[in-house]
Chain A
Amino acid sequence: MSSAMQFYVSTLLVYAGVYIIAAWGLNLQFGLTGILSFAYILFQSIGAYLAAVFSLGPPASRADVETYAFGANLPFPLPILVAAAGGALLAAVLGPIVLRRLRSDLQAITMLVMSLIATDVISSDQSLLNGATGLSLVPAPLSTVLGLSSLQYQWFFVGMVAVICAIVYFVMNRITSSPLGRALRTVRESERSAAAIGKNVFALRMRAFIVGGAIAAVSGALLVLFIGSWAPGSWLYIETFVLFAAVIIGGSGNNLGVAIGALVVPVGSVEAVQYLPSFGPPGMIDALQWVVIGLLLLLFIWFRPTGLLPERRRYFPVSDLRNGRQAASEADR
């Protein structure tokens, strides 16, 4: 492979990993638990901002380039962990406000509006996170320590994203196949039934919301450490729509399906297209790719609402249930 090709492939791979992680977080919130998380991109964004300011160093050290309210120079894995904690915290704060018993379309709109408010406020306030210009020149983690060529570093980053992908997949898989996952699915299918068998619906939703928020924040942290900049334009509400499209097209509730969905929608139709030769007037390809995503989503909801890889149906034979919990959880597996 030529080195230009290697740059292209490794960049796509990093994007793929980031989007797959983000789609898994949304799958936990929406696919598994049924939370209409229309502010999902906020979690990715807070992760990205936190990872950025905790890699950039104290605000005073960069006063000539950009302004932000706080920051530090933490060693490598810490910015990502701080980001994850920030995402979880944001979910813990937003959850009690939004996870109320509103009609579901209005619940979605409430979160969407929160996302819009956040964009407006962050864009307008120059001192908090450098306003509409956003943060830039975020140092790449470990790049000075490792002393790799830029191409080698690309592949190092691919490896790092792959490892984190594997960890998140492990966590997701544990959740979906555990009794907790079964309880979350019950909440999704029928809140009343879940409450009737003694499940604390709000606590279950909060758990999914918080873990999903942390996962989203990790994806944002990885993205900002790779591309080095983050601005309100990177997290418009439309990005939430893209991830919803990925989850629904891939197969809501199915981890592998959702990963495929992330490869088809954001990576396949948004990122990969950027490198194609352009045709037509400027901006036409961008517009057309949105048309394609919109139509693809409508077609899937019409013809195959369960997605490419549907969530596996789970059967619990009555005889097993009589034999107690042990047998039931085995049937689940």
Chain B
Amino acid sequence: MDLFMAGLGFGLIAASIMALAAVGFTLQLGVADIFNFSFGAVMTASALAGYEANAAGLNVWLCLPVGAAFGAALSVCLNRAILTPFMHRGAGLFGMVIVTLGLAIVIQNLILAIWGPVYFTYQVDNSSTVRWAGMILTTSQIALAACSAAIMVVLHLLLTKTKLGKAMRATAANADLARTSGIRTSRVNDTVWALSGALCGLGGVAFVINTVSFQAATGTDYLILVVAAAVLGGAGQPYGAMIGALIVGVASEVSATVISPDYKDVVALVILIGVLLVRPRGLMASVDLVQAGGEETIA
């Protein structure tokens, strides 16, 4: 039982961090309709921006906004310069998977070529340990979870209470209909990439504050868990992604402590496969991801 509670504690922390990235990923999948494989590489790049700021003397908590800004800027640039042009040139859904995968490999290996195969380590202040109901957490982990929860609340308000949020949800549900109703979908698109890029950057930095060190492939490795959370929640569903992150985060951490750490990722991957095969719409999806295939152009 103690083991279970300890795992649950780690799982809740992992979930709150994962939720940041998963919501960002699902926004891209839903609104921009791109399965963005380079998301993980952008996470690594943002974490690296945070690392450089940290190494220059900035407090590690202030690296979060640095990573967010960097992720937002990089995502908007990548979308404008590469992804949208490829989409307009007729790369189909699968073509975009190949394009973003290629992009991920380029970004990741540029980092590797320039900085070398090293582990980057954040200077995190020593934090005290808090024990509560069998969970053993550090204060910085609790602070991370609190940050994440606050961001989720802000995001919730943005999506439900503002015109922009309404426009985003409308574009995700049906871009053509949204355009006919007078929503400037291209501007909405830019906003979505900035917002999701910021979440991506936050997720990257938060992940590294929790694990302390990272290397060039960390983001891409982590991405699969993020994808599992996003797909489980239903593509394009921010709330679904939050719930998905909760399930994937808790399931993988609890299984790591209860079964074996070796199979931590496998549990998340099996959840992902199960969802894809049994219920590809996810828990909360309204966007139709199931369609008769074969009518797309390849690449």
The residue of chain B having its C-beta at the shortest distance from the C-beta of A110 within the complex is B276
Q: B214 at the A/B interface (Cβ < 8 Å)?
A: no
Contacts of A114 in B (CB 8 A): 273
Given contacts A113-B273, A294-B106, contact A104 B263 (CB under 8 A): no
In chain B between 70 and 120, which residues have their CB closer than 8 angstroms to a CB of chain A?
A: 82, 86, 89, 91-99, 101-103, 105-106, 108-110, 112-113, 116-117
Main secondary structure on B side of the interface with A: helix
- CB <8 Å contact, A101 and B98: no
Interface size on B, residues (CB 8 A): 51
Contacts of A284 in B (CB 8 A): 112-113, 116
In chain B between 260 and 287, which residues have their CB closer than 8 angstroms to a CB of chain A?
A: 260, 262-263, 265-266, 269-270, 272-273, 276-277, 280
Partner of A282, one of B96, B101, B117, B266: B117
Which among A189, A245, A295, A297 has the highest number of chain B CB atoms within 10 Å? A297
Contacts of B98 in A (CB 8 A): 244, 248, 297, 301
Bound-complex Cα distance A114 to B35 (A)? 17
Bound-complex Cα distance A266 to B117 (A)? 22
Interface size on A, residues (CB 8 A): 53
Partner of B112, one of A100, A101, A287, A305: A287
- CB <8 Å contact, B263 and A120: yes
- CB <8 Å contact, A287 and B91: no
Q: A239 at the A/B interface (Cβ < 8 Å)?
A: no
Q: B224 at the A/B interface (Cβ < 8 Å)?
A: yes
In chain A between 104 and 149, which residues have their CB closer than 8 angstroms to a CB of chain B?
A: 104-110, 113-114, 116-117, 120-121, 124
Q: A261 at the A/B interface (Cβ < 8 Å)?
A: no
Q: A291 at the A/B interface (Cβ < 8 Å)?
A: yes
Contacts of B103 in A (CB 8 A): 294, 298
- CB <8 Å contact, B299 and A191: no
Contacts of A107 in B (CB 8 A): 293
Q: B295 at the A/B interface (Cβ < 8 Å)?
A: yes
- Cβ of B127 to closest chain A Cβ, rounded Å: 31
Q: B181 at the A/B interface (Cβ < 8 Å)?
A: no
- CB <8 Å contact, B263 and A124: yes
Bound-complex Cα distance A198 to B211 (A)? 56
- CB <8 Å contact, A301 and B91: yes
Given contacts A113-B272, A124-B262, A288-B109, contact A105 B97 (CB under 8 A): yes
- Residues of A at the B interface (CB closer than 8 Å) are 34, 36, 97, 100-110, 113-114, 116-117, 120-121, 124, 187-192, 194, 201, 238, 241, 244-245, 248, 252, 280-284, 286-288, 290-291, 293-295, 297-298, 301-302, 305
- Residues of B at the A interface (CB closer than 8 Å) are 35, 82, 86, 89, 91-99, 101-103, 105-106, 108-110, 112-113, 116-117, 216, 224, 227, 231, 260, 262-263, 265-266, 269-270, 272-273, 276-277, 280, 289-296, 298-299
